[in-house]
Amino acid sequence: EVQLVESGGGLVQPGASLKLSCVASGFTFSDYWMSWVRQTPGKTMEWIGDIKYDGSYTNYAPSLKNRFTISRDNAKSTLYLQMSNVRSEDTATYYCTRDYYSSYPDYWGQGVMVTVSS
Amino acid sequence: EIVLTQSPTTMAASPGEKVTLNCLASSSVSYMNWYQQKSGASPKLWIYGTSNLASGVPNRFSGSGSGTSYSLTISSMEAEDVATYYCLQLSSYPYTFGAGTKLELK
Beta bridge partners of A111: none
pLDDT tops 90 at residue B7: yes
pLDDT at A102: 77
Those residues of chain A that have pLDDT short of 50 are none
Query: B45 to chain A, minimum CA–CA distance in Å?
Result: 6
Annotate B71-84 with DSSP letters as a single string.
EEEESS--GGG-EE
Burial B39-73 (b: 16+ CB within 10 A, else e): eeebbbbbbbebeebbeebeeebebebeeeebbbe
DSSP state of B54: P
pLDDT at A103: 85
What whole-number distance in Å separates Cα of residue B4 and Cα of residue B99?
A: 8
Query: B94 to chain A, minimum CA–CA distance in Å?
Result: 5
The overall average pLDDT reported for chain B is 97
Q: Which residues of B touch A110 (CB under 8 A)?
A: 42
Mutate which of A22, A38, A45, A106 to disrupt the B interface (most B C-beta within 10 Å)?
A: A45
Q: Which of B42, B48, B97 minimises the CB distance to A47?
A: B97
pLDDT at B91: 93
What whole-number distance in Å separates Cα of residue B36 and Cα of residue B39?
A: 10
As separate numbers, helices (DSSP H) first and strands (DSSP E) second, chain A gives 0, 11
Q: What is the mean pLDDT of residues B67-96?
A: 97
